[in-house]
Amino acid sequence: MNNTEKGKLTAGVDIGGTDIKLVLLDNRGEVVAQSKIDTDARRGPDQALERLMEAEKSLLTSRGIKQQDLRALGIGTAGPLDIARGIVVQAPNLPGWEGTPITEILTRGLEIPVFLENDANLAAFGEHRLGAGQGSDSVICLTLGTGIGGGIIIDGEIFSGVLGAGAEPGHITIDKGGAICACGNRGCLEAMASAAAVARMAVDAVKEGRGKIISELAGGSADKVDAETVHKAALKGDADAVQILEKAGRSLGVGIANMINIFAPRTVVVGGGLMKAGHFILEPAKEEALRRALKAFTQGVSIVPAMLGSSAGAIGAACYAGHKIKGL
């Protein structure tokens, strides 16, 4: 690393229920190093944050970078969070982390400014700065996994909302009489267009004697059907599998249309594990969204696949840290 880059690095950390991802980002937006450690959440926050700081230091050492060359660290986890005080308020995936002053512990240990944000918001910020939303100042990011998460960037800033939760686009109602969602509501986007929703629709199809290839791939057992099975069956030409993915895509499109009408974004970025089947989902989603949303808003809006993959949260955290220190 040459001298001009020194002192211009930021670190990004994404704390998930299973693992903690770390990245180092230089001032040109290049990821110069990254690593991953187990969260081991049950052992509590203190040991995890201690191991995180060790991992961060060894990442610097591995690239011959001194600790003082790191300017700031951004850190993301699932909320709700007290953003201003840097405290985890509730932690569904991290038992025992409630009330942990993450920012204070890491600032003391690393002696650099530390900024906490919601993980989905940081993933959206990463896509906005360095991914599929690059060049757009207003970006909506949707992540299709078991559930549906998301983040909203307005005029280049994260929309944090109450308790850092930002937006929860997975729980906007798409069909008032639709399937029951994990949140208790009916017809949420998450209940219609997530990987779990795709799997549920496929299980129903198999039980009704449809989806022959889905059933074959699952060895005849409806319990073994997941979104991946549906995707594979669709690739093999199973018309029911294709229809299920298209239905999920159309529900997604309704959700996107609603969000376009509220936020008038330049770019809608769609990522997450279910986007492996994006070929079957994104086109119907686009068609539905562009048909439903206000024409004034759809002109010039791009609906595109995410680019940063599972590192989006950590990369976004590093971008966010850089963004925040410029404001200090």
Smallest distance from the beta carbon of 180 to Zn ion, in angstroms?
Answer: 9
Q: Which of 48, 49, 188, 248 binds Zn ion (CB under 5 A)?
A: 188
CA distance 122 to 150: 10
CA distance 47 to 20: 13
Closest by Cα among 38, 170, 159, 177 to 94:
38
Smallest distance from the beta carbon of 117 to Zn ion, in angstroms?
Answer: 23
* Span near Zn ion by CB under 5 A; candidates 133-141, 159-167, 179-187, 309-317: 179-187
What beta strand segments (E) does 9-160 contain? 9-15, 19-25, 31-38, 70-77, 81-82, 87-88, 114-118, 139-144, 148-154, 157-158
146 binds Zn ion (CB under 5 A): no
Pairing of strands 139-144, 267-271: parallel
185 binds Zn ion (CB under 5 A): yes
CA distance 73 to 14: 11
Nearer to Zn ion by Cβ, of 15 and 198: the residue is: 198
CA distance 221 to 254: 32
167 binds Zn ion (CB under 5 A): no
Q: Which of 1, 180, 183, 239 binds Zn ion (CB under 5 A)?
A: 183
171 binds Zn ion (CB under 5 A): yes
Residues 147 and 194 sit within 8 Å (Cβ to Cβ): yes
Smallest distance from the beta carbon of 273 to Zn ion, in angstroms?
Answer: 19
Smallest distance from the beta carbon of 176 to Zn ion, in angstroms?
Answer: 12
Q: What is the DSSP letter of 99?
A: T
172 binds Zn ion (CB under 5 A): no
Q: Which of 11, 25, 122, 181 binds Zn ion (CB under 5 A)?
A: 181
Size of the site for Zn ion (CB under 5 A): 5
Binding site for Zn ion (CB under 5 A): 171, 181, 183, 185, 188
